Amino acid sequence: MSDGAPALRGTALPPCVLHEDEHLLLVVKPAGWNSHAPAPFAGEGIYEWLRHREPRWAGLAIVHRLDRDTSGLMVLAKTPLASRSLTAQFRAREVRKSYLLLSDRRGPSGEQRLEAAIARQGERYVVRSEARGGRPATTVFRPAGEGTGPDGRPATRIIAEPLTGRSHQIRVHAAAGGFPVLGDGLYGGGRAARLCLHAWRLGLRHPASEEWLDFEVAEDFVADPRVALRAAFIDPAETSAFRLIHGAADGQPGLYVDRLGGVLLAQSEAELAAATLQRFAAGGAEGLYHKRLDRQVRRLEPAQAAPRHVGGQAAPARFVVREHAVDYELGCAEGYSVGLFLDQRDNRRRFLTGHVAAGFPLYGAGPAQPGVLNVFAYTCGFSVCAALAGARVTSLDLSRKYLDWGRRNFELNSLDPAAHDFIYGDAFDWLGRLARKGLRYEALVLDPPTFSQAKGSGRFRVESDYGRLLAAALPVLAPGGVLLACANTARLAPDDFVAGVRAAVAAAGRSVDAEHYAPQAPDFPVSPAEPAYLKTLWLRVG
């Protein structure tokens, strides 16, 4: 084999990108997505998600922030020059920012300049004099006519121009002016499906040319914010499968809804109400299926565990969805799982593009056709992406049915299964065999089921046996190779999982040369009411 990593395979720009040049990246942030991660394992903000997505965005700097529930324009700096220039422009108040808000109260009759210092008080910000610790803040409000709120009722449209940049400034000042933002329960606004505050216009000098640039994005307070969030990063031309509703994080505790092409798959412990079925059917789905979430699913027969057709047209026994322009076969009659775990979409993309994170290429200067071992391969989603990017892939699973399904996924994407290896058997047994044969792989995927039982290796539980799995797997990972370690359980805390993986690597006498923790994809949002369950850690192991 010749040296040199395979060429990167690209995917389409996410729809949230409005403008890109050598120095600037302008994005439209949807409501419900943080500007940046609020905590290490709390889910990526739009900044982190973008920064780790493309090699050319590795140097992104966040110089401008919006509240989590505010939508609209954000500018990010791609170069040190842009970072310095934009920081200076914001500090000198040269950047022109215009927001549009809705209120269910009477707004200002004319221009109203509100100067009131702001201080933090718990989770809120309050008007407080500078003598008592408040920071100076000024906002100019102007009337913008009448509009329509998310519920279809009339609302007052108001333009807000913050001349300073304090957290929650517009929301605090609007409440102080007697016209709190609709949907802002924190500051006395009327009830609505979302916070009706949108960063509408942004004007700035280009860092290099010093040309004045104006950007504008119209608001849409009527659209379902859950749909708008997904539309920010899902390109419908490339991806037709994603999570539409993620439980309490999307205001629907206990309910999870996936779009699988023309099929909607709802999951809950209880049966769906007729009104819920009708609402989903109105969303353009051809067929609606429901799957009962059952803790005792392993005791059920496949027909009992499989999703049940409850509305619209019945899906074919096998149908195809797309993800990053890769095709996958799914089926609603094959048992509890339909054939693709949507929460791993961003990690599959990393194999497709050969790029893990900022400063973390997948293969580095390895062989032109790197070897990838996908343990617990299921229907071979990771394997297909790695093969499309030029790797030779070995897929290992305890189910012949799923390996055959994986071969069909290879064929769907014009890949010859015969050019790759498919191994049926127990993971622990085969990891030992491969190690004794002296086989080494440039990348290793460990995405085990939360619980399993095999004749040879006995019972396996992620939270107690992951170290044992790593001890068996690390001998087949080449020096400088990349390990993707995954755990799919809420019972294992992220910091404990990371510490356990690191400890296992050290116990094997290996070193960690690079590391990236990848949280759930943004259509599986993390919130206090819906904590993260999926943990994925990428390591380059020396």
Q: Which helix (H) or strand (E) holds 465?
A: helix 462-473
Distance CA 24, CA 529 (A): 35
Largest CA distance in the chain: 81
Residues whose CB is less than 8 angstroms from the CB of residue 476 and which lie 6 or more positions away in sequence, other chains included: 373, 431, 434, 435, 439, 440, 441, 444
Give 23-51 as a 3 state SS string. CEEEEEECCCCCCCCCCCCCCCCHHHHHH
> Of these residues, 67, 258, 426, 447, which one is catalytic?
67
Q: How many CB atoms lie within 10 A of CB 425?
A: 14
C-alpha separations of 276 from 144, 268, 512 in Å = 36, 12, 48
Distance CA 347, CA 524 (A): 14
Candidates 397, 394, 382; CA nearest to 421 is: 394
Whether 119 and 109 have beta carbons less than 8 Å apart is answered as no
Distance CA 501, CA 370 (A): 23
Active site annotation includes 67: yes
Whether 499 and 224 have beta carbons less than 8 Å apart is answered as no
Pairing of strands 17-20, 371-375: unpaired
Distance CA 221, CA 151 (A): 9
φ/ψ of residue 390, rounded to 5: 105, 5
The catalytic site residues sit at 67
